[in-house]
């Protein structure tokens, strides 16, 4: 298992989720779920533009952001303010 890390540049966001992550494989996907575990958004690494994921369609609240990179699973929480 590698020591892959992800950083959410701003833990509080309103429009874009800014991430810093270097893909380890070509099989990278992400997902965003609410605190109840309901999947709200997902995509692939090639969907991410300029290290930003558009979250403007999500309501205010707390979320879990996950990246699956091959066999690696990384989770972080973030808050959307507006």
Which CATH number is 29's domain given? 2.60.40.1930
> What's the pLDDT tens digit per position in 19-42?
878 888 888 899 999 999 999 999
Q: Is residue 2 part of a domain?
A: no
Q: Is residue 1 part of a domain?
A: no
**Number of folded domains that form the chain:** 1
Q: Are 66 and 31 in contact (CB under 8 A)?
A: yes
- Range 49-71 burial, b when 16+ CB lie within 10 A, else e: eeeebebeebeeeebebbbbbee
Q: Which two tokens mark 49?
A: 């533009």
CA dist list (Å): 35 to 1, 49, 65 = 27, 25, 11
- 4 — pLDDT class (breaks 50, 70, 90): low
Q: Are 65 and 75 in contact (CB under 8 A)?
A: yes
Which domain covers residue 32, as residue numbers?
7-80
* pTM score of the predicted model: 0.80
Q: Is residue 41 part of a domain?
A: yes
């Amino acid at each position: 298992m590698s020591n892959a890390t992800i950083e959410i540049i701003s833990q509080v966001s309103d429009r874009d989720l800014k991430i810093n992550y270097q893909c380890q494989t070509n099989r990278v996907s992400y997902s965003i779920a609410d605190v109840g575990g309901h999947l709200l958004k997902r995509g692939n690494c090639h969907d991410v533009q300029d290290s930003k994921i558009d979250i403007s369609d999500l309501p205010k609240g707390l979320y879990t952001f996950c990246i699956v990179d091959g066999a690696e699973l990384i989770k972080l929480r973030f808050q959307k303010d507006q």
